[in-house]
Amino acid sequence: MQGLVFYHKEYLDPENVIYNTNYRIVDDRNIAQSSLGLRRLQIKENLFPIGTAVYFLQDVIKLAKSTTWFIDSQGKVFQHKKIRRAKLTTHRIKQVLPAQGIGCVLELVGLPERFKSLQVPKEFEVYAGVLSYKGKNLLYGYYDEPIKNTWRKV
């Protein structure tokens, strides 16, 4: 069926020698709604659970594996292939500012820009890892001690 995104699982039950298939719906673009979330609210049965919401590009970079598939808010399915490298450096957290809603805004020593994060660093996490890629900096994670400058696939 055109416009239907589904998860298909096949397996063989060796005890009973039965071949099983299972289809679960991820999205149905035939439903007249503007976003994935609104369409999923209208699907009544056999809905595939989406486990993780991604809000920032760095989350896609960290979560992406060769077996990981993503779906955007418009219903487009994609994979992120890590084909380039980015330099990872750590910087001491200068200040943690509250953000409207959830999360925080970070000021780091040695960098002029601030970084938005959904997670507030724990008390012992006093360093932040920053990926530098194509002239842009992305917050990568929190650390309890500085790590040596290294590279990550992005």
CATH number of 123's domain: 2.40.50
Are both 118 and 56 inside the same structural domain? no
The domain in which residue 137 lies consists of: 85-153
pLDDT of 18: 82
Are both 92 and 68 inside the same structural domain? no
Nearest C-alpha neighbor of 138 from the set 121, 101, 113 = 113
Which of 26, 52, 78 marks a domain boundary?
78
> ∠ at Cα 132 (130, 98), nearest 5°?
35
Which of 59, 78, 97 marks a domain boundary?
78
pLDDT of 28: 94
Stretch 46-73: mean pLDDT: 91
Which of 47, 78, 109 marks a domain boundary?
78
Are both 65 and 102 inside the same structural domain? no
pLDDT of 2: 86
Q: pLDDT-based confidence at 124, cuts 50/70/90?
A: very high
pLDDT digits (tens, 9 = 90+) for 6-59: 988 888 877 877 888 889 999 999 999 999 999 999 998 999 999 898 988 888
120: exposed, middle or buried (C-beta count within 10 Å: 0-12, 13-18, 19+)?
middle
Domain total in the chain: 2
Q: Does the structure show a pLDDT above 70 at 1?
A: no
Residue tagged 């049965």 (tokens): 45
Sequence-distant (6+) residues with CB within 8 A of 76 are none
